[in-house]
Amino acid sequence: MHSDNILLDVKGLKKYFLVRKGVFRRTVAHVKAVDDIDMFIREGETLGLVGESGCGKTTTGRSILRLIEPSGGDIMFRSKTMAPAGEDHTEVNVVKAPRKTMKMLRREMQIIFQDPYSSLNPRMTVGAIVSEPLLVHSLSRRSEREERVKSLLAAVGLKPDHMKRYPHEFSGGQRQRIGVARALALDPQLIVCDEPVSALDVSIQAQVINLLEDLQGEFGLTYLFIAHDLSVVKHMADRVAVMYFGKIVELSTTEELFSAPKHPYTEALMSAVPVPDPNWDVERILLEGDVASPVAPPPGCYFHPRCQYAKDICKTEAPEYRDLGDLHFVTCHFADSLNLQPILSK
Amino acid sequence: MLRAVGIPLPEQRVNEYPHLLSGGMRQRAMIAMAMSCNPALLIADEPTTALDVTIQAQVLELMNALRAEFHASIQFITHDLGVIAGMADDVVVMYLGRIAEASTVQEVFHNAKHPYTRGLMNSIPSLAAEKRRLDPIKGVVPDPSDVPAGCSFEPRCPQAMEICKTKMPELKEVAPNHTTACCLYEEQ
């Protein structure tokens, strides 16, 4: 159906955290941080992943790289390094990969973290930080390594003499560039960008966004772009997945999602985003209340207590994640019949 | 007061401690504290920056409603241009401790005079706009202990002139009710 150029295919991914209490550390509850999600990413595209804090975006990104062990599901990755002789690539299940395979796969899957202050070791020089992946994977000789680091720094807009400096000598935007250079060091196919610009000022944010776009073109990168800022995601992504409470509630192309949303949560989220134009006049849909407690999720559809279109069935039956056609996925009983308010570009 | 700021079950909440409340509810409680003495001016310093967008929308709506009800003025401090566009009547743009530009919200967003204001507007992706390449301000904000001589924005300004390196521009009225501090608008 959609087997064309799929780099990463996530099927039924789950991550449950256990809540333990008492002397015997009995498991008293599960928190379903990521609850049975399906999505795929094509080679060279950017899939945006949006949602509010605590909805499981970061857990999803980290589970894909197995920085957190998933509780269930399959993650099929089209690997180049694991390909048998004579073939370009082969499908590997990341979830079931043994340690050695995982190390090989990590060359192809990298991550950029949100906080450029805590994700760089303050005791290491920039040169050491950027060349560490090369060392870990023993991929180059010392003499080549320095050249490689220089070219990586140049690619992200830093100078060769920055190699000998320490992270504290750099601003937030420059540090994020160092993090990007480190992620690029192994020539990966996929980069998980976990809120890469959230901690930056707007003018610096724009510089980093432009850099990520340029690098994607230059190195043919595929991004999973995680962010809570819908404006940034709309700008970056080819397709967007909206998460609520550990589930994907809607996934579609960026254009389709913004011009014809099918899930009430997507509609409400979009209408709540402040638009930098005083003449912008959209009817704000104010969601009532907060996101429910993850330990005791509401029965039926998780979104029903805040949904203005909720009917009786939503209180008892959880909707299926289904394809409305044209790979527009949605998790709502009434996705076909609701007429939701789009965001139209002027 | 708790009822006025929309906290559910106020009779019960009034005896609870802050850690039992969610972020949005805590911010509501803060607003209740601030409004309790009927102030004429409420200074709100990034009141919604830590909140999720749907909760932010609730808090902004609440502040607008209370402003009307209590006839108070609000000084709203934020880095989020989207929030400003939705909330403000008048806008002051600051850069390195000085006012760069001040006018009505319409003027600032649609007829910005200062290159810094224009740079900010070009840096942000907007839900309402077609996709275009972002045009960020180059460089970074200088160290506040080492502010450049002349106009403090000069090293990053795309329209910088020779005079900007030495002359600190004054805040001047360039249109009715619209002031800016930029050498582009200084008369020779």
The residues, ordered by sequence, that sit 6+ positions from B33 with a Cβ below 8 Å of its Cβ are B1
Tell me if A209 and B125 make a contact (CB, 8 A cut-off): yes
Owner of token pair 């909707």: A319
Tell me: the pLDDT tens digits for A260-285? 999 999 999 999 898 888 888 777 88
Q: Closest to B128 (Cβ–Cβ): which among A207, A272, A277?
A: A277
Q: How far is CA A275 from the centre of its chain?
A: 23
CA–CA gap between residue B93 and residue B86 (Å, rounded): 16
Nearest-angstrom CA–CA distance, A146 and A301 = 54
Q: What is the mean pLDDT of residues A137-160?
A: 90
With a CB cutoff of 8 Å and minimum separation 6, the contacts of B35 are B1, B4, B5, B42, B66, B70, B72
> Cβ atoms within 10 A of the Cβ of A168, count?
9
Indicate yes or no: CB of B85 within 8 angstroms of CB of A277: yes
Indicate the range of A206-210, A225-229, A290-294 predicted with least confidence: A290-294
Give the pLDDT of chain B (188 residues) as one tens digit per residue. Answer: 888 888 878 888 888 888 888 788 888 888 889 888 889 999 999 998 888 888 899 899 999 999 999 899 999 999 999 999 999 999 999 999 999 999 999 999 999 999 999 999 999 988 877 778 899 998 888 888 888 889 999 999 999 999 999 999 999 999 999 999 999 987 64
Which pLDDT band holds residue A344 (cuts at 50, 70, 90)?
Answer: low
Whole-number pLDDT of residue A3: 55
Q: What percent of chain A has pLDDT over 90?
A: 71
The answer on pLDDT for A41 being more than 70 is yes
Q: How many angstroms away from the CA of B188 is the closest CA of chain A?
A: 31
Q: What is the pLDDT of residues A170-193, one digit of tens each?
A: 988 999 999 999 999 999 999 999
Residue A165: predicted pLDDT: 94
Tell me if B128 and A269 make a contact (CB, 8 A cut-off).
Answer: no
Q: Which residues pair with B76 in a beta bridge?
A: B44
For residue A61, what pLDDT band results from cuts at 50, 70 and 90?
very high
Share of chain A above pLDDT 70, in %: 98
8 Å CB contact of B140 and A205: no
Cβ distance A244 to A55 under 8 Å?
yes
Round to whole Å and give the CA distance between B10 and B12: 5
Residues of chain B with Cβ-Cβ distance to A57 below 8 Å are none
- pLDDT for res A1: 44
What is the pLDDT averaged over residues A248-258? 95
User: Count of A–B CB contacts within 8 Å?
Assistant: 132
Taking only the tens place, the pLDDT of each residue in A292-342 is 777 788 899 999 999 999 999 999 999 999 999 889 999 999 999 999 988
User: Is 60 exceeded by the pLDDT of residue A2?
Assistant: no
Mark yes or no for CB contact A284/B84 under 8 Å: no
Cα–Cα distance measured from residue A17 to residue A32, given in angstroms and rounded to the nearest whole number? 7
Query: Which pLDDT does position B188 carry in this prediction?
Result: 47
